[in-house]
Amino acid sequence: MTNLPCYRDWFRLTIIVSGWLLFIFAALHLSPAKVDVHFMVLAAMTMAASQFAVQLPSIGGRITVADTLVFLALLLYGREAAVVLAALEGLSSSLRISKKPGTVLFNSAVMSASIFMTAGALQLVFGPSLANYLRPFKGSLVAALCLMALVHYFVNSWLVSIDRSLKTGSSLTTTWREHYLWTSVTYFAGAAAAALIARLMMQFGFFPVILTTPVMAIVYFTYQTYMTSVQAAAAQAKQAEQYVEEQKRQILELEMTRKELHESREHFRNASLHDRLTGLPNRALFMDRLTMAVDRAKRTPDYLFAVLFVDLDRFKIVNDSQGHLAGDQLLIKVGERLKACLRPTDTVARLGGDEFALLLDDIAGFSSALTTAQRLLAEVSQPVVLESSEAFTTASIGIAFKSNDCEAETILRDADAAMYQAKQNGKARYEVFDNAMHSLTPYQAGQPRIMEDSANLTLAN
């Protein structure tokens, strides 16, 4: 890749030297008799045409009618005149698009070399003069025109492709296919137009050549106007696409913002209804679900539910002896065990400290709640593996069932009173609430008996 600029310089120098030597050879061998007024007018028209190029959209290439006039010179005046005219046309058109001497000389030399090789191929196949084929139309004229277009096209396009490939480092075939394959049509069209003009000149003199000038000018400016409109429309379409993309981007940003706000709202809502340590529902969410169960019980007489108030028996000992971190881990493990003992429709919540509340929703009967309480006692009493040790605890459970005119706060208070009775009767057991228990409770049932300290609480066990 690093040697490509050097190769390109040598390639350009070779083409420039060869092309200009061919130009000098053609100029020296050009018969003065051929350089008549008609030829000078044709040369002037060619120089003028080289200044007006048609830009092809989406390709980046340009075409002119100068090639047609060079073909015409080849058909009427022969090889030397066509080579000189092609070199001058290449020089004129290159000066229009570039001020670099190397580029100007290279493009002119490419035109000179390609027309010289085109003329040589025609002379080799069809003889020294093509004018003989123009008078009576012959089928061989079509073959000659095709050969003329093909040789000029391939020599010209491949020399320029090699130069461009050495400049960019891309594949030669890829460069030729992407930038010059499409130009083949213009060469064939130019050759056909040159043959048509040559035949008209044989019948009507030089007038058809003069007539082509305003025709070409009208076609050129019409096409330029059309291309300006096309480019303006394309620019508007691109601007519209950019506007649509910008709108899509803004909509996407708004949607992302809306989603983030929704997620943030859900996060805070979830945080406000769940315990920070265990992730279980907190007192607020539990009371909401218990209120819904009470309302349903009022509407449906056969509907039955139970509330279980769970308090750990040895939590303060674990919390004091092994530290708050161990106490937090114990609460998390107990919460997981309680949840594992329930159905998906039931609710287990942490009310605070080592107190948990369970709502057994739509149970079949009182025995279902008792069975669940026994299962809870067995699960909680199992050793709990902490990070550095094991902890042992039990639970005291109070059970309150639906009553005819119960309220959510009342039934939670009743379950709390039954739990206190279980503690009074030896702990690690459950008790079912009855009205006599209120007189035995030394605090207002349903209210916290704890003082919060960091992530967990110090209990009054």
Q: HSE-up of 223 (CA within 13 Å, CB side)?
A: 15
Judged against a pLDDT cut of 70, whether residue 294 lies above it is answered with: yes
Report, in angstroms and rounded to the nearest whole number, the Rg of the chain calculated over CA atoms. 50
Q: Cβ contacts of residue 2 below 8 Å, gap of 6+?
A: none
Q: HSE-up of 428 (CA within 13 Å, CB side)?
A: 10
What's the CATH fold of domain 4-205? Arp2/3 complex 21 kDa subunit ARPC3 (1.10.1760)
CA distance 198 to 70: 12
Q: What is the pLDDT of residues 320-362, one digit of tens each?
A: 778 888 888 989 999 999 999 999 999 999 998 899 999 999 9
Confidence band (pLDDT; 50, 70, 90) for 421? very high
Q: What is the pLDDT of residue 343?
A: 92
Q: What is the DSSP letter of 447?
A: S
pTM for the model stands at 0.47
Q: What is the pLDDT of residue 400?
A: 93
What tokens were used for 244? 């649509």
Percent composition of the chain: helix, strand, coil (DSSP 3-state, to 5): 70, 10, 20
CA distance 415 to 67: 104
**Who has greater pLDDT, 82 or 131?**
82
CA distance 269 to 288: 14
Q: Which of 49-53, 111-115, 133-137, 196-200 has the lowest mean pLDDT?
A: 133-137
Return the bridge partners of 431, or none: 398
CA distance 246 to 428: 67
What tokens were used for 189? 């069209």
Q: What is the pLDDT of residue 458?
A: 34
What's the CATH fold of domain 283-459? Alpha-Beta Plaits (3.30.70)
**Who has greater pLDDT, 419 or 74?**
419
Judged against a pLDDT cut of 60, whether residue 218 lies above it is answered with: no
Residue 427 near residue 413 (C-beta atoms within 8 A): no
Q: What is the pLDDT of residue 231?
A: 67
What tokens were used for 300? 């449906």
Q: Do domains 4-205 and 283-459 have the same CATH topology?
A: no
Judged against a pLDDT cut of 50, whether residue 444 lies above it is answered with: no
CA distance 151 to 135: 24
Specify the amino acid at residue 356: F
CA distance 268 to 283: 16
State the average pLDDT over residues 90-101. Answer: 78
Judged against a pLDDT cut of 80, whether residue 386 lies above it is answered with: yes
Calculate ∠ Cα 437-441-442, nearest 5°.
165
**Who has greater pLDDT, 22 or 261?**
22
Residue 128 near residue 75 (C-beta atoms within 8 A): no
How far is it between the farthest Cα atoms of the chain?
140
Q: What is the pLDDT of residue 57?
A: 53
Q: What is the pLDDT of residue 208?
A: 62
Domains of the chain, residue spans: 4-205, 283-459
Q: What is the pLDDT of residue 99?
A: 76
Q: Which of 68-82, 215-229, 371-385 has the lowest mean pLDDT?
A: 215-229
